[in-house]
Structure 1
Amino acid sequence: MKVAIIGAGPRGLWAAEELMERARQRGARIELSVLNDAPLDALSAPDAFRPDTPEQWLLNVPSGVIETRLSSFNTWRGADDDFPSRRTVGQFLLASWEALRENLPRGCTLEMIERKVSNLTPVDGGVVVEGELFAEVLLCTGHAPAEPVVGAQSAYPHTNLDSIGRGDVLLVRGAALSFMDVVRYVPARRIYPVTRTGRFMEVKAYPEDEAARASALAPHAEEIRRCEGFDQFRAILTEAAQTILRAQGGDGDVAAVIDGTDFTGDAVAELRTSLAAAEATRPWTAALAVGYTFRTLYPQIIRRASFGGRDTLGGERFYRLTRVLERVAFGPPADTARDLVEALDSGRVRVDVMQRGDQDLRALAAEVGADVIVDSVTAPAGVVPGTLVGFLVEAGIGQTYTNTGNNRALRVEPDGTLVGQKHLAAAGRMSEGWILGHDTLRRSEDDVIPAWAKRVSAAAMVHPQRVHGTPPLTARTEGWVDELLADPERCQSLLDTYSSPVNILNPEPMVSNIDELVQAGADCGVEVKVFFARKANKGIAFVDTVRDAGHGVDVASYDELRQVLMRGVPGERIIVSAAIKTDHLLRLAIESGVVISADNRDEYDRIVELAGGNPAYVAPRLAPDPAMMPPTRFGERLDTWKNHLARPVEGVKVVGVHAHLHGYAAADRAAALRECMELTDSLRAAGHVPEFIDIGGGVPMSYLDDAEQWEDYCSAISTQRAGYAAPFTWKSDPLSTHYPFHQQPTRGAWLQQVLSDGIAEALSERGLRLHLEPGRSLLDGCGLILAQVAFVKTRSDGLPLVGLHMNRTQCRTTSDDYLVDPILVKRTPDSAELEAFLVGAYCIEDEVILRRRIRFPRGVSAGDIIAIPNTAGYFMHILESASHQIPLAKNVDWPAGTLDAIDQLDQVDQIS
């Protein structure tokens, strides 16, 4: 998908970061072009954050609110003073753009283009920008240039002011923040501000115990969200400000401030009082209390008044109120105000004509002897004629909202899309009024930018309506799974019958998985025998299947062995590979003619003793050379076995050599086979008759068909671990230990690699069979878990949770997580899209089924069913627990729909 963002200021950056973060989480492919009509280091008009902005031009919002994907502003700069230079902010924004370039999601691109956009046309399926078609376009054009005043020069960029000398006299239109920037920068000997109100802005102030004050305002925040009209809103705001004023020990008439009737006529005296209160050299004023209250409640006011909400708050009355409160709430920091007071005290700034802003500026300049007129008034918020947005409105492409005083605001949907359009959106100052507080450095989840990025990234997905984890890892499913999950009532019947969760077992794919390995060996001239690793799944159906296929079973405990023997598997087709073997287990193995993998010399000697001269079949376990592969706790080294088995023992037959290897590398298996063949040669020379080499399990499989998805995930989790990507795992879990859920080659092709480079020939020359003990790869496609949704709620901090009738041990191995997307079986009506974590039944905070966040495009509700596919291999049983005395999950053979033999009888020894 080709996407364009027009404007590279703070909101353009936010939109680019948010879009790319969503693309990372959703596996979307996006080509992003960012077009800016000024040099890319200017970042925004009117150049408020250029890296060469004067050092004394300070930030006007607390530095603690500024953050990007790179980090928080304060962390990046290593300081936490509230109002640093805007220059530093500009440097931070540039660093954030560079960080975005360096951390793009796989398959996404970013191109920065210096170009003024004046031609933009919506068409079917997209928007044409300067002749180039984009699927989606977002306008983040920020502040429009102010309408020029004849004979005046703009205060921005600061280079406009560089010709002003020490002897000059200035008349400055405006007395707000931009005027104060002019005062702090130019060396003029005298400066005359001119305004319509005749007042300076109130100084920003914050209480020492801000947490307590914010807490005191919390009830009023809730009242704001519920208020029904202007009078009620004004009453809530008045009461809240009086609460703050009393808490601060201040004085004054809060109602007069809110009504804008508090002007004493002496702007300078008011500024001095405001500064003194902000610096805590006198009690707070009513104006400071109102300003702090308005800023603190602003998020709730935004929610209540935006998207036409002001229509029910008095319309024009509400607009006038907000204009009054902007002067009170969003004024300068104390440092800036202090410089202005000093300039007033020295006579460099004069207020002789301050209240005559409605008069001709040139006449006023002549009256005060001004050499230069400076315009420090920025363009109003909303739609400004002559701009790109203005042209769009004139062309009927954009619609406006007029209940914002003398200005018009661009109407957009909650996701920023222009009303009446599909692929053209806007975010920022052009919609101020329709959306309150839309022109700010603050980032909020309630803003249109996250909603826009969410919509666009979803549209860029291949399967936007599919339930997926973050990022998507789509399960490879068998036909029987697809058929079952397409029948919600059949799924529900299984849960009603056997409770939730239920493990569905289908051994049919097992046969083809065995055949693939056997055929791969045959193609290389090697006889392959497969021994199903019983520990991977306790289902008896799998034992029966491998028995009927003429192969064997690898067991790791007394009960596993007893069950397998009772199912009629001959002893010579069983190997006991348990890491620790009881005498009870060894006696049963010897009595039944089962091959025993002897892990060490002590164990071999115990077998000799327990056999007492009776036949015992043994395969010594070899620990391969640690210089060739990772060290292992299993087995003994080559020379140890050579020495210990130098002479045969009566009754004990060494029938093969066994190895237990970590990982899945074909090269490691080949190296181990060479050592195993060296040991078989030595054993034969000593009089033993080994017939096979068993290299254990670790036969690779792949849960995913899409290699790109796995690479996307690996890149995303790596970027999260590095601290750049937004966390998409539970408590930012790095998930550093996991199975390679996509890998190539697998099974047969992998085995052919193992047997290459002369290995097959060497085995054949020695007349040795190759034994394999796969678990996971034999059970590929053989099972899934069904679990009922119990509830949908939020954690105390608002994090969405979906509760399942299941616990985390019922889908877990020794790895950190099961990294395959669940499948939703919908049984309830569609609802709002939700991104949530799946949590389980155990009464602990970390009881999470899957540790990636899951997206439900059609919503999810209690009564729906979550299917976790391809879990037969280890995930169902290896760590399952009946803690809290919650019964273990039942195991159902498919397609019969009946309990597996493991669950049919209470006593394990009755299985037959």
Structure 2
Amino acid sequence: MTYAPTREDLTERIRLNHDSLSYRNGELFIEKLAVEDIAAEVSTPFYCYSASTIRNAFTLLADKLKPVHASVCFAVKANSNISILKLLADLGCGMDIVSGGELERALAAGVAPSKIVFSGVGKTRREIRRALEVGIHQLNVESPAELDSIREVARDLGCRAPVVFRVNPDVDAHTHAKISTGKKGDKFGINIELIEELYAKAAACTELDVAGLAVHIGSQLLNLSPYRAAYRRLASLVDQLRSRDLPVRSLDLGGGLGINYNFGVGPDVGEYAAIVKETVGGLHCELTVEPGRWLVGPAGLLVTEVLNLKEAGGTVLVIVDAAMNDLMRPALYNAVHPVLPLQDPGHRSAHPYQIVGPVCESSDVFGTYDALPPLQSGVRIAFGCAGAYGASMASTYNSRDLIAEVLVEADRFRVIRRRQTIQDLLELESATPWQKCRSETNATTAL
């Protein structure tokens, strides 16, 4: 059973921990707009983001990190909408990317290439070439083989590739197994015992500008102690490298700061900044952190409409027009998002509801909630804390539309990604003329 707080409880939580959501006379507002009014203009389901919440989150984190002069790069995979990227870039935020597509999104949003960090375990040579051609800040190296690819591409281009080595520190982040990235056996990073020799060999290569080290131990971290353990291992490695006269001028500390998915208090970013200062603040390195979810997660809603109700084995099912293809996290991670009625009369239903989507999968379930007001066909609700890993992970499974995204600022809103309809998708599948492979053509000629 997932607890859905009463309106009074939710109102208090929002008041204490959220700066853009509120209930006014029983109606849900985001900034100065009633969500119901937006839903009257934009067909459900759709994503809705608060600009002020994102700005305030970035400003808070940047201020806390000022004493250690750490820069912030947003993890683009959390929300890759170019309007969101531009909003953050205008505040001075850099970008942490994991694909060539995310590089193009960052550039389209006006991000300076010198503020882009390229992470990710499997960069293609084409992606590496493009990154070096535009002049990004650094490539985070994930393996000796990837280092060879970067070196060869840099040689072809006649440039020096700025690289840092992503260390796997073998630290358990105590998070979901599917988003843990810093334990031995995870696919990410290079075993910490192998770094010293690889670093030394790379530093001797004229095609490589070896700047330092990187680490990222996982996502949705609520307990900050794993950061301390990982950063201490990183600091020890810096001392080890410098003892061999190998320069280390840059440390990429990764991201992973979690959020409370029921509008409660999350990790203390002041405490996080103190851990950074305590562990690596005295190393005189350029420091970078790469939050994603923490910056945008609480800013987003997924707004949906109840289609109908049905009873199944004693459970009341609420079927909504949003589905697992729109918000994958419940199906993928057993995650639970809070439910906020757009119109809350104050009184509660006598029974819990299981909220499900229309996709033809038994995993298309958002959760079972008590303490919700009575629901019926046509009523609209919103899933909260949906600004991260929602739209960016969405698909067109069951040939469903990719839904719209909306940005709210004070008393105005705009659509920042239109709904991608089935007509749009069908156009991508227009058949081209039949072709023969060159090898087949040559074989036919030889006969």
Is TM > 0.5 for Structure 1 vs Structure 2? yes
- Percent identical pairs in the alignment equals 22
Matched, 1:599 2:142: yes
Compared CA separation, residues 529 and 883, structure 1 to 2 (3 A)? same
Q: 1:873 aligns with which of 357, 366, 388?
A: 388
1:563 to 87, 105, 108: 105
Show CA shifts across 1:290-318 (max 9, x none).
xxxxxxxxxxxxxxxxxxxxxxxxxxxxx
C-alpha change, 1:774 and 1:626, in structure 2 (3 Å) is: closer
Count, aligned residues: 399
Look up the match of 2:277: 755
Q: Of the candidates 129, 148, 168, which is equivalent to residue 587 of structure 1?
A: 129
User: Any gaps of 5 or more consecutive residues in structure 2?
Assistant: 174-181, 426-447
- Give yes or no for the alignment of 1:836 onto 2:353: yes
Any idea what the Cα deviations from partners look like across 1:46-72, whole Å, max 9, x if unmatched?
A: xxxxxxxxxxxxxxxxxxxxxxxxxxx
Q: Kindly tell me: are residues 501 and 621 of structure 1, through their superposed partners in 2, closer, same or farther at Cα, counting changes over 3 Å?
A: same
> What's the counterpart of residue 702 of structure 1?
260
Determine if the alignment matches structure 1 residue 610 to structure 2 residue 153.
yes
The 3-state SS of whatever aligns with 1:894 is strand
Q: Which position in structure 1 is the counterpart of 2:61? A: 517
Distance 1:490 1:553 in 2: 32
**Corresponding position of 2:436:** none
Once residues 285 and 346 of structure 2 are traced to their aligned partners in structure 1, the CA distance between those partners, rounded to angstroms, is 61
**What is the CA deviation profile of residues 712-770 of structure 1, one whole-angstrom value per residue up to 9, with x for unaligned ones?**
xxxxxxxxxxxxxxxxxxxxxxxxxxxxxx65x422223313433xx25xx33x32122
Q: Which residue of 1 aligns with 2:401?
A: 887
Distance 1:477 1:869 in 2: 13
Confirm or deny that 1:656 pairs with 2:199. Answer: no
Give the alignment's TM-score, normalised by structure 1: 0.40
Q: What is the correspondence of 1:176-191 to structure 2 with a 5 Å cutoff?
A: none
Q: Does 1:669 align with 2:227?
A: yes
Distance 1:825 1:532 in 2: 30
Verify the 8 A CA contact 1:657 1:693 in the aligned structure 2. yes
1:863 corresponds to which residue?
378
CA distance in 2, matches of 1:623, 1:830: 51
* 2:314 is aligned with 1:808: no
Is contact 1:790–1:863 with CA below 8 Å preserved after alignment?
yes
CA distance in 2 between counterparts of 1:473 and 1:481 reads: 11
Q: Contact 2:298–2:385 at 8 Å: present in 1 too?
A: yes
* Per-residue CA distance 1:806-856 (angstroms, 9 max, x = gap): 1023233276334343111239998964421111020233421x2223333
Cα distance in 1, alignment partners of residues 319 and 9 from structure 2? 16
Q: 1:771 aligns with which of 265, 288, 308?
A: 288
Alpha-carbon distance, 1:791 to partner? 0.9
Shift of residue 610, structure 1, vs aligned partner: 0.7
User: Quick one: distance in 2 between partners of 1:902 and 1:661?
Assistant: 35
Give the superposition deviation at 1:658.
Answer: 0.7
Take 1:658 and 1:624, find their aligned partners in 2: how far apart are those partners? 10
Instruction: Give the CA deviation at 1:897.
Output: 1.9
On the 8 A contact 1:495/1:788 being kept in 2, the answer is no
C-alpha RMSD of matched pairs (Å): 3.5
Find out whether 1:623 has 2:158 as its counterpart: no
Residues 860, 688 of structure 1: alpha-carbon distance in 2 compared, 3 angstrom cutoff: same
Residues 807 and 860 (structure 1), Cα distance of their counterparts in 2 relative to 1, 3 Å cut: same
Q: Name the amino acid aligned to 1:839.
A: V
Deviations 1:92-147 (A, max 9, x none): xxxxxxxxxxxxxxxxxxxxxxxxxxxxxxxxxxxxxxxxxxxxxxxxxxxxxxxx
For the 8 Å contact 1:700–1:750, the answer to whether it is kept is no
1:538 equivalent to 2:52? Answer no
Is the 1:670–1:755 Cα contact (8 Å) retained in structure 2?
no
1:628-664 CA-to-partner distances (Å, cap 9, x unmatched) read 9843331112342211221421132122311120363
Deviation of the 1:888 alpha carbon: 1.2
> Does residue 507 of the first structure (1) align with residue 23 of the second (2)?
no
Unaligned ranges ≥5, structure 1? 1-23, 28-462, 707-741, 908-912
Aligned CA distance change for structure 1 residues 821 and 550 (closer, same or farther; 3 Å): closer
Contact 2:80-2:105 at 8 Å conserved across structures: no
More RCO (CA 8 Å, sep 6+): 2
Q: Residues of 2 paired with 1:561 and 1:832: CA distance?
A: 48
Equivalents in 2 of 1:604, 1:26: separation in Å?
48
Per the alignment, do residues 474 and 834 of structure 1 end up closer, same or farther by CA in structure 2, a change over 3 Å counting?
A: farther
CA contact (8 A) 1:473 1:819 kept: no
- Counterpart contact for 1:692–1:768, Cα < 8 Å: yes
Relative to structure 1, the CA distance from residue 815 to residue 884 in structure 2 (aligned partners, 3 Å threshold; closer, same or farther) is closer
Distance, in Å, in 1 between the alignment partners of 2:2 and 2:259 is 25
Are the equivalent residues in 2 in contact too, given 1:827–1:865 (CA < 8 A)?
no
For 2:2 and 2:258, the matched residues in 1 are separated by: 27
Q: Please identify which structure carries the higher strand content.
A: 2
Give the drift of 1:571: 1.6
Q: Residue 669 of structure 1: CA displacement?
A: 2.0
Provide Cα deviations, 1:549-608, integer angstroms capped at 9, x if missing partner: 222011111111111012221122111112211122111111122211110111011000
Q: Decide whether the 8 Å contact of 1:540 with 1:901 is kept in 2.
A: no
- Aligned AA for 1:753? I
Which one has a bigger Cα radius of gyration?
Answer: 1
Corresponding residue for 1:248?
Answer: none
Q: Does 1:789 align with 2:306?
A: yes
Amino acid at match of 2:316: P
When the two structures are superposed, what TM-score results if normalisation uses the length of structure 2?
A: 0.78
Distance 1:666 1:508, change over 3 A: same
Amino acid at match of 1:840: G
> Deviations 1:689-727 (Å, cap 9, x if unpaired)?
433211211123334465xxxxxxxxxxxxxxxxxxxxx
In the alignment, which of 158, 177, 189 is matched to residue 635 of structure 1? 189
